[in-house]
Amino acid sequence: MKTNYTITFATYNQLDYTRRFIDSLDREDVDFSRIVAVDNGSTDGTREWLEQQGFGAVILNNRNLGCGAAWNQGALAIQSEWTIVMNNDVICAKGWIAGMLKAVQQHELKIVSPAMVEGLLNYDLATFATDAQQRMQGYLREQAPHAVCLMVHESVWDEIGYFMPVPRLLGYEDAIFFQRAREAGVRMGTTAEAWIHHFGSITQKGIKLEKKLNENESLGNRNLMKFYMNQTWLKRKQSIAHKKQITRKARERELHQYQMTIHSWRSEAGFDWY
């Protein structure tokens, strides 16, 4: 591709998922010299495996610095017009980068995410993605990107800065980043022109298991998140309510027009649309 881009992702163990992610990347679509992997102290062979893949850069941290610091390291290691920041527990459908680039040009976006199915990979992603792209051609859920995968224009770094590099946030870095983007009036959204499958926060689940936390407990420090967001309790409540209202209306519109949405959960029973 001629487009100036970097793909960066963070790892912390979960080597099997990282392998599946990299195996899903079509080398005709993806330039592996533009990939930066950042490992946060894995002990399961991930570090050794990453160094054998021919990526543009592999950064090995001695401890878990959190997603924010790792994402920043990746974005800065190979600086590009576009930086694709993503999880390692995903599978990418063919043409996902081209689909996001098409959306940013069509809708004049500075941040864009691909549409996503989460949960069980008990369906044919390639067939599903092709059908979904045709059915929802050109559709964008405005102002609703997600941190599983987001493509960020270099002008956004200049305007609002990078991710908050605070290890104790552990999962709230994206909420703070998106809030700053909204406040700055950055155009963003999730496009139906590109699709990925997300297994569902596998790394966070692994860390919770290590720390002997249950699935409902938060890894990150919520008080720190509130501090960095710099919102009153009322403003935060209003912001959450407004986001839920926007999501509900978008979901209703998508179901009415396309009989599907850009975000779904896949279970044994089929698709649940969100």
Selected residue with higher pLDDT from 1 and 184? 184
What contacts 18, CB < 8 A, 6 or more positions away? 11, 46, 49, 50, 88, 89
Average pLDDT over residues 30-44: 96
Q: Report the mean per-residue pLDDT for the chain.
A: 91
Query: pTM of the prediction?
Result: 0.91
Kindly tell me if the per-residue pLDDT of 273 is higher than 70: yes
Kindly tell me if the per-residue pLDDT of 170 is higher than 90: no
Kindly tell me if the per-residue pLDDT of 199 is higher than 90: yes
Residue 113, pLDDT score? 98
Average pLDDT over residues 97-116: 97
Which residue range is the domain that position 157 belongs to? Answer: 5-273
Per-residue b/e over 250-271, b at no fewer than 16 CB within 10 Å? Answer: bbeebeeebebbbbbbbeeeee
What single letter denotes the amino acid at residue 157? W
Whole-angstrom distance, CA of residue 78 vs CA of residue 7? 9
- The total domain count for the chain is 1
What contacts 89, CB < 8 A, 6 or more positions away? 14, 17, 18, 21, 198, 199, 200, 201, 202, 203
Q: 219-235, pLDDT tens digit by residue?
A: 567 677 776 677 777 77
Residue 136, pLDDT score? 98
Kindly tell me if the per-residue pLDDT of 91 is higher than 90: yes
Helices 222-229, 173-183: axis angle to 10 degrees equals: 10
Whole-angstrom distance, CA of residue 251 vs CA of residue 238? 20
Helix (H/G/I), strand (E/B), else coil: 191: strand
Whole-angstrom distance, CA of residue 235 vs CA of residue 258? 34
Please spell the DSSP secondary structure of 3-71, one letter per residue: S-EEEEEEESS-HHHHHHHHHTS-TTT--GGGEEEEESS--SSHHHHHTTS--SEEEE-SS--HHHHHH
Task: Read off the pLDDT band of 211 (50, 70, 90).
Answer: low
Residue 210, pLDDT score? 61
Pairing type for strands 111-119 and 188-198 reads parallel
Task: Read off the pLDDT band of 237 (50, 70, 90).
Answer: confident
Residue 207, pLDDT score? 62
**Domain CATH for 222:** 3.90.550.10
Whole-angstrom distance, CA of residue 191 vs CA of residue 99? 8
Residue 218, pLDDT score? 58
Kindly tell me if the per-residue pLDDT of 68 is higher than 70: yes
Residue 262 tokens read as: 């850009």
Task: Read off the pLDDT band of 205 (50, 70, 90).
Answer: low
Average pLDDT over residues 95-119: 97
Residue 128, pLDDT score? 98
Average pLDDT over residues 126-136: 97
Task: Read off the pLDDT band of 1 (50, 70, 90).
Answer: very low
